[in-house]
Structure 1
Amino acid sequence: MTHPISGLPGSGQWHGPEDLRILQEKQLRQTVAWAARSPFYRDRLNLAALPTTTAELAGLPLTTKQDLRDNYPFGMLAVPKERLATYHESSGTAGRPTPSYYTAEDWTDLSERFARKWIGISGEDVLLVRTPYALLLTGHLAHAAGLLRGATVVPGDNRSLAMPYARVVRVMHDLGVTLTWSVPTECLIWAAAADAAGHRPGADFPALRALFVGGEPLTSARRRRISRLWGVPVIEEYGSTETGSLAGECPRGRMHLWADRALFEVYDPATGTVREEGEGQLVVTPLFRKAMPLLRYNLEDNVSVSYDDCACGWNLPTIQVLGRAAFGYRTGGATITQHGLEELVFSLPDFYRVMFWRARAEPALLRVEIEVPEEHRTAAEAELTASVRSAFGVDSEVTGLPPGSLIPHDALTNMPDVVKPRGLFGPDEDWGKALLYY
């Protein structure tokens, strides 16, 4: 049914692909009209014959990341500037950051989409938000979704000097944090920090119900390891600063696209063709965005989309994100990917206690370093060397390092002072921090 407050589509309003198409096309005319108000689309669209169906929309050129960069900062703006609620920029991992902005109404849609977690967010929850807040959307998105559902939100920005890992663990333990939002690596570092503080991750945090993660590749082996460490489900999310949440994980472990709130296409760059499903680059048209409408925005993520039925009953297409795992380096005759190597590292037995690793792919040799206690070092080195040979067919040099080599113990236990700028100092004080206080 339609959401009773926002009026946006809600679960149960469709019963399959045909119902979704009807819902999408009903909103598409309004979406295109909003887009036509922006300088960028006003120049691109034929205002006398705006597309009103998905078939007509497919005749438009793709909107690219470069288009957003070229129209920085407000060339994509479709509302008066005084109606904006927030301005954001992407992380810039694929090049110069892209601008993005939202109205208060846009934020209702954003918050509802992120809050669509199968485990649920409620007023009984304490939600730790442990992703960046500055300019990126990710921290603000989880924060807003938590407030929307009545949760107590703990703003634990992972780029703030005021929130070291020792403090994260203290907050999780003492406040009875029930849900967290972070990149997957954070969950492993918290476990190490909890251990350093004398806590057992799977036993001394009884309030914890789930770990929400996104923003970096996550193999099934690492997901299982994190889940076993903490004793709770690890629930993945997919989205971007330019679009907000695009997909979430169902109880069956499959990622579903929010196709009631956005129109999705799969683009084949080799042929220039698009289709509803299959493999290619994900193209998105958000259907309820007013400040910065995007028509056929190419995220440039390689994906596989399917409309096959899922036992969860959500009646939404499923997506596998392939692009984040595909990039690799050549060693010998093989391409080494982080996804493939991570699967091998986290397939080592849990009792080896290997959580942190790094690798360098050289032309003739793959060098891997892992943190591992001395009593398991020889066995872990031998097993990982054999796994690399079996999986990639290349020679490797696996070196076991003492715990604390890759993630220093001080980083897990330090509680640095958080100081404020001041001008007056005593005779024995360091006045070098008078203005730059970090």
Structure 2
Amino acid sequence: MTQLSADRTETRERPDLGDWSDFDELARLQRSRLPELFERALRSPFYARRYAGGGAPVTAADFESLAVTGKQDLRDSYPFGLLAVDRRELATYHESSGTSGQPTASYYTERDWVDLAERYARKWVGITPEDTFLVRTPYALVITGHLAQAAGRLRGATVVPGDARSLALPLSRIVRLMAALEVSLTWCNPTEAVTIAAAARAAGLRPDVDFPSLRALFVAAEPMTAARKRRLGEIWGGAAIVEEYGSTETGTVAGECPDGRLHLWADRAIFEVYSPTTGEIRADGRGQLVVTPLYREAMPLLRYNLADDVEISYAPCPCGLVLPTVRVFGRAGFGYPVRGRTVTQNQLEELVFGLPLEYQVMFWRAQATPDAVILEFEAPDEVREQARRELSAAITETLDIPHRITALPPGTLVPTEVLTSHRDILKARYLFGPHESWDKALMYQ
């Protein structure tokens, strides 16, 4: 992504925040993009085949009659069934994590990447040339690490490619980099933000004191409760916790405003909600999020169902942005029955992170059975029993369900060696001296 700034002037103009004054003007902006989007989409084998029998969309009025494009459509079209440009125009190729066993492919042109980077960079705290930006998300195939790196470079920041799956970058090294380089911004999932803080403590550092340059943590990939978000900020000494929402197939689709709400970037895509039970598609309310990117070149998507459970609202936001807001429930929005009550991850997370900060509760897990919730968490010796009693009382008062809670010593759920290890990273070697072990010859670790 070395040509992002230059390419900005070579491609069609995309709107900037504030280029519209109300939702009617925003809707007209969206509709004006549809004819070109339809024309481009019909160049792909998938959409050409879908509309081969007639009924291809041509005008903005045709949009409401379009069928939803599902994840299975992408899987069935793997890898290039949705390609709408010559392969020589592609800049990058990506795949989803493939948790279903079937990956989906995504690809972008260089001009697509300008749009991707601009959307990610719409952070209310800003990304500046003064920032050192640690990217602690995967780089392999998924888009997340590349997205942050492109946005950081677009805004002139110094990007540190920390990855999140590399053996060369254990947590102990990440902590050292954050301190030595005076990292001011990070990008990771919320669990990773907690784990890095625990690794800092294991190294004898105080996350809330010993990283004074850190001003914001950008987080995504997990729905978060207000309690966990608040706790993350406390753990990291008041640094801003800024949420983002997106996917490998779409890039960033929503970002957080200063008032803590996620705004959909509706100048760059059309957003709707789909009811899988009725088949109805609406502009707002609760359902599965449907996205139609307006400027996608390599892989146009018409009414693509991300299948995430969300709620869209057009109510005014105190921040003043004329953009819809979204609440993302994801898997955390689903629960399990316990004695006739539905228990969700969000409910338990609110209670766990509602414990006082000084109890240092960072890691927990729970299992819902038909008869009770079984929950374990880590806490230091001196507060362990008090924390257990308080959490039990909170569950009884709030959820009124049978439960069994076990308070464990630190290092039980997340082994201490994970936080402190310095892995032996090797390159292949073939010749050894007389007193050296050759057991690791030819090995890559």
- TM-score by structure 1 length? 0.96
Amino acid across the alignment from 2:317: C
1:286 aligns with 2:293: yes
Q: Deviations over 1:20-50 (max 9, x none)?
A: 1111111111111110100000111269764
Shift of 1:389: 2.4
Amino acid across the alignment from 1:105: R
- The answer for the alignment partner of 1:148 in structure 2 is 154
Shift of 1:11: 1.1
- The answer for the alignment partner of 1:437 in structure 2 is 444
1:304 aligns with 2:305: no
Select between 62-71 and 376-385 the one with higher mean Cα deviation: 376-385
- The answer for the alignment partner of 2:19 in structure 1 is 13
Shift of 1:65: 0.1
Select between 67-76 and 260-269 the one with higher mean Cα deviation: 260-269
1:83 aligns with 2:92: no
Alignment partners' CA distance in 1, 2:10 and 2:398: 52
Shift of 1:416: 1.5
SS of residue matched to 2:375: strand
1:186 aligns with 2:192: yes
1:56 aligns with 2:62: yes
- The answer for the alignment partner of 2:42 in structure 1 is 36
Calculate the aligned-residue CA RMSD, in Å.
1.6
Shift of 1:83: 1.0
- The answer for the alignment partner of 2:120 in structure 1 is 114
Q: CA distance change for structure 1 residues 203 and 437 in 2, over 3 Å: closer, same or farther?
A: same
Shift of 1:196: 1.8
Shift of 1:94: 4.7
Select between 173-182 and 353-362 the one with higher mean Cα deviation: 353-362
Amino acid across the alignment from 2:57: P
Q: Deviations over 1:166-215 (max 9, x none)?
A: 11111111101010000001111111111122221111111111000000
Q: Deviations over 1:201-243 (max 9, x none)?
A: 1111111110000001211101000101112110000000000
Shift of 1:407: 1.6
Q: CA distance change for structure 1 residues 128 and 140 in 2, over 3 Å: closer, same or farther?
A: same
Q: Deviations over 1:374-404 (max 9, x none)?
A: 1111111111122222333221111111111
The alignment covers a number of residue pairs equal to: 436
Structure 1 portions without partners, runs of 5+: none
Shift of 1:274: 1.2
- The answer for the alignment partner of 2:99 in structure 1 is 93
Q: CA distance change for structure 1 residues 54 and 324 in 2, over 3 Å: closer, same or farther?
A: farther
Q: Deviations over 1:319-355 (max 9, x none)?
A: 0112332222333222222121111100011111111
Q: CA distance change for structure 1 residues 435 and 336 in 2, over 3 Å: closer, same or farther?
A: farther
Amino acid across the alignment from 1:434: A
Alignment partners' CA distance in 1, 2:60 and 2:256: 26
Correspondence for 1:226 among 226, 232, 236: 232
- The answer for the alignment partner of 1:395 in structure 2 is 402
Q: CA distance change for structure 1 residues 308 and 196 in 2, over 3 Å: closer, same or farther?
A: same
- The answer for the alignment partner of 2:145 in structure 1 is 139
CA contact (8 A) 2:432 2:438 kept: yes
SS of residue matched to 1:235: strand
Correspondence for 1:160 among 163, 166, 188: 166
CA contact (8 A) 1:106 1:291 kept: yes
Amino acid across the alignment from 2:110: A
Shift of 1:160: 0.5
Correspondence for 1:23 among 25, 29, 36: 29
CA contact (8 A) 1:130 1:155 kept: yes
- TM-score by structure 2 length? 0.94
- The answer for the alignment partner of 1:354 in structure 2 is 361
Shift of 1:53: 4.3
Alignment partners' CA distance in 2, 1:295 and 1:413: 47
Correspondence for 1:364 among 363, 367, 371: 371
1:174 aligns with 2:167: no
- The answer for the alignment partner of 1:333 in structure 2 is 340
Shift of 1:266: 1.3
CA contact (8 A) 2:426 2:443 kept: no
Structure 2 portions without partners, runs of 5+: 1-7
Amino acid across the alignment from 2:132: V
Amino acid across the alignment from 2:199: A
1:272 aligns with 2:279: yes
SS of residue matched to 1:208: coil
Q: Percent identity?
A: 58
1:103 aligns with 2:109: yes
CA contact (8 A) 1:41 1:76 kept: yes
Q: Deviations over 1:64-106 (max 9, x none)?
A: 0000000001111111111111111111235522111111111
- The answer for the alignment partner of 1:209 in structure 2 is 215
Alignment partners' CA distance in 1, 2:74 and 2:205: 46
